[in-house]
Amino acid sequence: MSTLNLKAPAKVNYLLDVIRRRPDGYHELRMIMQRVNLCDDITLTLTESPGITVTCGKKGVPDGPGNIAWKAARVMLDLSGCGRGASIDITKNIPVAAGLGGGSSDAASVLTGMNQLLELNLSDQRLMEIGVTLGADVPFFIFARTALAEGIGEELRAMPEMPKAWILLVNPGVHVSTAWVYQNLRLTNEKVLAKVPEFFRTVEDVAALFSNDLESVTISAFPVIDEIKGRMLQLGAVGSMMSGSGPTVFGVFRTRAEAENACSEIARGTEWFTAVAETF
Ligand code: ATP
């Protein structure tokens, strides 16, 4: 078979510590990353003719070589040396440049999909090594478990089992530049890292982790993020925080009904992106 239909899920950060700036400009991080079942849909086809096409049609997402999914396909075709090509059709359900890792997830799906279609039999470890050359969050989506991520995000360890939770995602649609956020982050010399617990029994245990060093920077420019957090907590969220460098805010709820109720309350009268998803 030369076509695969792939689901590329979003992530949220339960924890995001920025430890230091490395001499090469990257930041050393400690993150807890959790997948949620809001997914982009990708149709990946191996073609006889060389060349790669990406069709997406979403504003802000490049169709050609600028698309990270294109780069993922290129590297796998080059490794195979087979002279064939690929066509990639992406339906973006994950908001773009939102702190939800959508592009990285698309790239990870294309790497694993091409590995299968080209019968390369590369290990997940090898795919993760290729993935980090495309983007720091790509290895996490290949790892495919809730993870403690260190380094620039590529040193991954599986987290102990965590309770499932209903997640409300709200993206107010303001434009946040990740580079700007890091430039405006003030790092202290001696950052004391909170200990990561070894057991999580309840969603309250999960929410007790919530901390994101980037949040105050993004909120200083976009106070709406703090307003959304406050609304989520008023409407029954066990915890609420910004994901990545934002602007998406997520809330953790005990039940789907509570998450959906908060979703309709918060969405009312706005044009914000909202979705209720489940962790997996
Ligand atoms: P991160 O949290 O890793 O910074 P993000 O979720 O904030 O990621 P993405 O949605 O991955 O951001 O998009 C970041 C940029 O990458 C966008 O500005 C977009 O132009 C570009 N891009 C390239 N390919 C894709 C893709 N397949 N999906 C989304 N964005 C893409």
Considering the domain architecture, whether residues 151 and 178 belong to the same structural domain is answered as: no
Both 145 and 180 in one domain: the answer is no
Contact 92, 130 (CB under 8 A): no
Taking CA atoms, 3 is separated from 71, 87, 110, 184, in Å, by 18, 9, 12, 44
- Mark whether 7 and 56 lie in a shared domain: yes
Average pLDDT over residues 142-165: 96
Would you state the structure tokens that stand for residue 259, as one six-digit string?
Answer: 């998450």
Task: Tell whether pTM > 0.85.
Answer: yes
Check which CATH number belongs to the domain holding 110 and give it: 3.30.230.10
Is 11 an active-site residue?
A: yes
Are residues 108 and 215 part of one domain?
A: no
Asked whether residue 86 falls in the same domain as residue 116, the answer is yes
The burial of 46, by beta-carbon neighbours within 10 Å (0-12 exposed, 13-18 middle, 19 or more buried), is given as buried
Contacts of 254 by beta carbon, 8 Å cutoff, 6+ apart: 165, 166, 203, 236, 238
> Do 184 and 141 have their domain in common?
no
- In order, the DSSP letters of 141-158 are HHH-S-EEEEETTTEEEE
- Mutation pick for ligand 1 pocket among 35, 39, 68 (CB with most ligand atoms within 8 Å): 68
12 and 116 fall within a common domain: yes
Tell me, what's the pLDDT at 134? Answer: 98
Categorize the per-residue pLDDT at 256 as very low, low, confident or very high, splitting at 50, 70 and 90.
Answer: very high
**Domain endpoint, select from 158, 175, 191:** 158
Checking if the pLDDT of 191 tops 90, the result is no
92 is catalytic: no
Checking if the pLDDT of 71 tops 70, the result is yes
Mean pLDDT of 158-162: 96
Residue 1 one-letter amino acid? M
CATH number assigned to the domain comprising residue 188: 3.30.70.890
As for how many domains the chain has, the answer is 2
Same domain, 172 and 273: yes
Give the mean pLDDT of 167-193: 91
- Do 135 and 266 share a domain, yes or no? no
Place of tokens 């980037």: 214
Q: Among 139, 158, 177, which residue terminates a domain?
A: 158
* Per-residue pLDDT reduced to its tens digit, 120-146: 999 999 999 999 999 999 999 999 999
Instruction: Say if ligand 1 is within 6 A of residue 136 CB.
Output: no
Model confidence at 174, in pLDDT bands (50, 70, 90)? very high
Test site for ligand 1: of 42, 96, 178, most ligand atoms within 8 A of the Cβ: 96
Percent of the chain's residues with pLDDT above 90: 94
Average pLDDT over residues 149-171: 96
> What does the buried/exposed string (b/e) look like for 5-18 if buried means 16 or more CB atoms within 10 Å of the residue's CB?
ebebbbbbbbbbbb
Label residue 225 exposed, middle or buried (CB < 10 Å: 0-12, 13-18, 19+). Answer: buried
Given a contact cutoff of 8 angstroms between Cβ atoms, the answer to whether 135 and 11 are in contact is no
> Same domain for 110 and 209?
no
Residue 188 has pLDDT above 90, yes or no: no
CB neighbours of 43 closer than 8 A, spacing ≥ 6? 3, 4, 5, 6, 88, 89
Domain enclosing residue 177, as ranges: 166-278
β-pairing, 211-212 vs 3-21, is: parallel
Examine the fold and report which residue of 110, 136, 158 is the final residue of a domain before the chain moves on: 158
Q: Is the pLDDT of residue 1 over 70?
A: no
Same domain membership, residue 13 and residue 54: yes
Preceding omega of 50 cis (within 30 degrees of 0):
no
Pair (171, 92) in one structural domain: no
pLDDT at 190 over 80: no
